[in-house]
Amino acid sequence: MANVAVVLGNDFEDSEFRVPYDRLKAAGHNLTIIGEKAGETVKGKKGKESVKVEASGSDRNAIDFAGLLIPGGYSPDHLRTDEAIVRLVKDFARAGKPIAAVCHGPQLLIEADLVRGKTVTSWPSVKTDLTNAGARWVDREVALDGGLITSRKPDDLEAFSSAFIEALS
C-alpha cells in the first residue's frame, strides 16, 4: 500500500496519534514518524504513548510519501517553528497529496499558509487563528477541501481516519 508520513513532536494528543496510526497500519499502509530530530523519543501529553522519531523534516521529501498525518495536542504548535517540518508540509500541498490534520493539527497548516480560502475544522480554540489566516471554519466531524482533511477532536477519529484512508486510495 502507500507510504504515509506522520509529523510528531512532544505533547501530541495520544489518541489522535494512536487511532489513525493503527487504522492506517490495519489498512496496509507504511508509516514513518518525522519530527525535529531523528532518534529522539517524543511523548504524548497524557503519558500513554511514547514514539521514536525515525527521521527529521530535512531527512525526508514529500515525493517519497502518498500522504501526511498531523495529530493534534501541543505537537503542531511545537513543530510550527521547525523550518524543515513546515517546508515538508508545504511540499505535500504543492504535490497535491492529502494532508490530514486533527484538533490542533491545523496550526501547522496555518504556518505553512495552506488554509487561505479553504473550509476546515479544528478544536474550537484554533478557530480564530484559522479564520484570521483566511480559512472558512466549520463545526463538523470532518471537513474536506481539496487535499485537506481536518477534524475537531478524539470523538471524530473514526470518521477522520476513514476519510484519510479513502483519500489515500
List, by residue number, the catalytic residues: 103
Beta-carbon contacts of 81 under 8 Å, excluding residues fewer than 6 positions away, are none
Instruction: Determine contact, residues 65/95, Cβ cutoff 8 Å.
Output: no
Find residue 149's DSSP bridge partners.
100, 144
Kindly state the DSSP code that residue 37 receives in the 8-state scheme: S
Nearest to 130 by CA among 167, 104, 162: 104
For 11, 42, 60, 101, 128, the CA distances from 46, given in Å and listed in that order, are 8, 12, 28, 19, 26
